Amino acid sequence: MNDVVGTDGGKLAHATLENADYLPGRRSFFKYRDLGVTRATGGKMRAQVTTATQGMGEPTGWHYHLCEQQFVYLLKGWVDLEFEDGTEVRLKPGESLMIPGGMRHNETGTADELELLEVSVPSEMKTVACDPPAGMK
């Protein structure tokens, strides 16, 4: 596991390619590499690198996350998303999204090779399936 050192006021988490473990995650077609932030913050925040093991065959379906915030920074590939307000985004390398907790969205496609950094506050982020917004599929 990642090297974590610190005091009662906080901990330093140092993740490397050798010590950052893969953990189970929300989607079977993604691999999730834990960066040790959950442990270092006592669950206040989570950071992970998500890698596609294959492109998405079909949209994830409309859903939202039970969290305060979700931040995504794309490192490689692309991901298409649509949001409850009608916004459609193709996220490309070097671009980011901050998704407020509870905002309905749908991932509609990904590149076969995809890598992104995802941060959530707090660390536990549940996914809730929902109906699409009015007028959307």
Report field, pTM of the whole predicted structure over 0.75: yes
CA 92 to chain centre: 15
Q: Is the pLDDT of residue 91 over 70?
A: yes
Stretch 91-110: mean pLDDT, rounded?
A: 96
Which of 3.20.20.30, 2.40.10.220, 2.60.120.10, 3.40.140.10 would CATH assign to domain 12-129? 2.60.120.10
Task: Give how far Cα 36 sits from Cα of 8, 23, 41, 99, Å.
Answer: 16, 11, 9, 22
30, HSE (Cβ side, Cα atoms, 13 Å): 24
Stretch 88-114: mean pLDDT, rounded?
A: 96
Q: Among 104, 116, 107, which residue's Cα sits nearest to residue 65?
A: 104
**Token duo for residue 115:** 């890598």
Domain limits, the chain: 12-129
pLDDT one-digit tens code per residue, 6-33 = 555 568 999 888 888 877 777 667 788 9
Compute the distance between CA of residue 41 and CA of residue 47 in angstroms, rounded to an integer: 11
